[in-house]
């Protein structure tokens, strides 16, 4: 690893020490509706970082990844939520979510290249965990459909934020890599904090 990348990794780890662990899984969404659904992914650091990271990495991949990678995440997140609401369990949901933050951060930090289809599969697997966690809360909501729609729109917004940021900073790739290192460090802290 070249010197400048070690610096970015060290900076990411140091910065993450100032970021408290926050999970959006309150399991107390009773009475919640659309606004609570929108707020849900925005109040949990794990979901927020993973969803922004999907957009950032899609921007690094370029081309059709701009839309296909985030769309794969959204589609599989919905599937994960449906699995949860019909009683299909998924092992190690919280570990899968923490791993998604860590691995997506590393993909950005190292500007990892892979075929778009493989990238879609990878984020799709991560999305199952996020969707399952979201789906666990849907039955408690006053309006599961309204709450779910809010979460879906917030997810799309976070992907768009990451994608837009990634496109904006394409010429400053080192900044994207530093951001990826910070996301990975936060994911590592989530993993250790479990």
Distances (CA, A) of 31 to 23, 78, 140, 143: 20, 21, 7, 8
Averaged pLDDT, 98-125: 97
Give the pLDDT confidence score for residue 10 in this predicted structure.
Answer: 44
Domain of residue 158, residue span: 3-12+32-192
DSSP code at position 64: T
Residue 23 located in a structural domain: no
In a domain, 109, yes or no: yes
Predicted pLDDT at 144:
77
20 within a domain of the structure (yes/no):
no
| CB crowding 102-123: b at 16 or more within 10 Å, else e | bbbbbbbbbebeeebeebbebb
* Domain assignment of residue 100, yes or no: yes
Q: Is the pLDDT at 134 greater than 70, yes or no?
A: yes
Question: How far apart, in Å, do the first and last CA atoms of the chain sit?
Answer: 29
What's the Cα-to-Cα distance from 108 to each of 8, 25, 48, 104, 183, rounded to whole Å? 12, 25, 15, 6, 9
- pLDDT in the model for residue 148: 85
- Going from the C-alpha of 170 to that of each of 47, 58, 70, 140, 162, the distances in angstroms are 24, 12, 18, 42, 12
Of 5-9, 98-102, 108-112, least confident by mean pLDDT is: 5-9
Q: How confident is the model at residue 13 (pLDDT cuts 50, 70, 90)?
A: very low
Distance CA 112, CA 168 (A): 18
Mean pLDDT on 47-59: 97
pLDDT of 35 reads 87
Note the pLDDT of residue 141: 64
Is 57 part of a structural domain of the chain? yes
pLDDT tens track for 150-167: 989 999 999 999 999 999
Q: Which two tokens stand for residue 167?
A: 């496109």
Is the residue at 25 inside a domain? no
What's the total number of domains in the chain? 1
Q: Structure pTM? A: 0.83
DSSP 131: H
pLDDT, position 143: 79
Q: Is residue 27 part of a domain?
A: no
As given in the structure block, the two tokens for residue 157 are 């917004």
**pLDDT score, position 139:** 60
Is 18 inside a domain boundary?
A: no
Lowest mean pLDDT, pick from 86-90, 131-135, 145-149, 187-191: 145-149
Residue 70 or 25, more confident: 70
């Amino acid at each position: 690893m070249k010197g400048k990348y070690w610096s970015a990794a060290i900076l990411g780890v140091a910065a993450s020490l100032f970021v408290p662990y926050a999970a959006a899984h309150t399991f107390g969404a009773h009475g919640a509706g659309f606004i609570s659904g929108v707020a849900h992914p925005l109040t949990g650091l794990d979901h927020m970082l993973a969803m922004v990271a999907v957009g950032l990495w899609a921007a690094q991949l370029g081309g059709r990844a701009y839309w296909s990678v985030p769309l794969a995440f959204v589609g599989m997140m919905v599937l994960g939520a449906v699995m949860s609401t019909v009683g299909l369990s998924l092992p190690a949901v919280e570990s899968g979510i923490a791993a998604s933050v860590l691995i997506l951060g590393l993909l950005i930090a190292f500007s990892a290249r892979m075929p778009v289809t493989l990238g879609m599969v990878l984020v799709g697997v991560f999305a199952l965990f996020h969707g399952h966690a979201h789906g666990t809360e849907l039955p408690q909501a006053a309006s599961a459909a309204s709450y779910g729609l809010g979460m879906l729109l917030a997810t799309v917004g976070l992907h768009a934020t990451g994608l837009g940021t990634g496109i904006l900073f394409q010429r400053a790739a080192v900044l994207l890599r530093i951001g990826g290192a910070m996301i990975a460090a936060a994911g590592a802290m989530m993993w250790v904090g479990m």
